[in-house]
Amino acid sequence: MRTIEGSKGDIVVHQWAPVGEPEYVVLLAHGYAEHALRHAGLAEKFEADGAVVYAPDHRGHGRSGGEPALVDEAQPLIDDFAKVYDLAREEHPGLPIVLVGHSMGGLLATLFVQEGERPVDAVVLSSPLLGGNPALVALLDLDEIPDIPIDPMVISRDENEQQAYLDDPMIYHGPFRRETLEGLVAGLDRARSGGGFGDLPVLWIHGEGDMLVPYDLTAETMEILSGPGTQAKSYPEARHELFHEINREEVYKDVFDFIDQNTPEAAASTDGR
């Protein structure tokens, strides 16, 4: 864990490194209200596969600075992520870079690819916040947004993961702030009009039972953004957090098969999964 100066305060970056020289770099962007260490299991899989992983806690999340779970605009997150990218590139020049974004992190990853002006070799979008949720947007029409936290039932079918979500003190369990909902809607609109992925290798994975970021609405946006390099895989009945789902081993295999196909160095590494 290290701290860097972000665009609006300190950003804590978690890091995993393999034994020996890494074969590729993973930049991991977590979702709204959570923090990077919730994806430690995934990061350890990458580490075993020969990747060095950089995973920041976004502004207002985890151990980073900022007001809790305030995402009033996307640009500071993009700027902070660019600093993490530059750090990784400086420390590991020449290695392939894989961008992995979950939920709000998937929106961030999309905007970063569209606007970041920094090349990546492949992108994995896990349940990306690219299609919105009418129930959440409808909260903006209310004079006062009710204090309704995210129900852990929407996270996963795994009851242990549901309880872990509730018990995690680093997760924000409060209500959505109006500024955050407005910021996420604006970021989503920005991504939808920001240009497609073209030939860039992109893997979009999504649970068909996702109640937080509905699959069908995300599919509408992905149809706009997808290019010749885009692949898609959906999982019947799976909910929002695929890396915490009961079929996560299947998800891991799909992700690593994609990375092996699109980063030669990763394919040549010793498979520690």
Strands 51-56 and 9-16, bridge-based pairing: antiparallel
Closest to 52 (Cα-Cα) out of 85, 74, 12: 85
Region 192-219: what's the mean pLDDT? 96
**pLDDT of 37:** 98
| Distances, alpha carbon 132 to alpha carbons 51, 86, 94, in Å | 32, 30, 36
pLDDT reading at 265 higher than 70: no
Give the number of residues written for the chain.
273
Reported as a pLDDT band with limits 50, 70 and 90, residue 80 is very high
pLDDT reading at 268 higher than 80: no
Region 238-251: what's the mean pLDDT? 98
Which fold does the domain 2-268 belong to in CATH? Rossmann fold (3.40.50)
Q: What is the C-alpha separation between 129 and 32, in angstroms, rounded? A: 10
Region 192-218: what's the mean pLDDT? 96
| Exposure letters 147-169 (e unless 16+ CB within 10 A, then b) | eeebebebbbbbeebbebbeeee
Q: What is the C-alpha separation between 159 and 101, in angstroms, rounded? A: 24
At 18, is the secondary structure helix, strand, or coil?
A: coil
Number of Cβ within 10 Å of residue 185's Cβ equals 14
Looking at the DSSP bridge assignments, the partners of residue 231 are 203
pTM of the model: 0.94
Q: In 25-169, which residue ranges form alpha helices assigned H by DSSP?
A: 40-48, 75-91, 104-115, 134-137, 159-167
At 231, is the secondary structure helix, strand, or coil?
A: strand
pLDDT reading at 271 higher than 50: no
Domain boundaries, the chain: 2-268
Q: Which residues are designated catalytic?
A: 103, 210, 240
pLDDT reading at 104 higher than 50: yes
pLDDT reading at 270 higher than 70: no
Closest to 150 (Cα-Cα) out of 131, 166, 133: 166
Region 68-74: what's the mean pLDDT? 93
Query: Could you report the per-residue pLDDT of 132-188, keeping only the tens digit for each?
Result: 788 888 888 888 888 888 899 999 999 999 999 999 999 999 988 999 999 999 999
Tokens 């900022």, located at residue: 66
> What does pLDDT average to over the chain?
94
**pLDDT of 214:** 96
pLDDT reading at 273 higher than 70: no
Tokens of 116: 């970041």
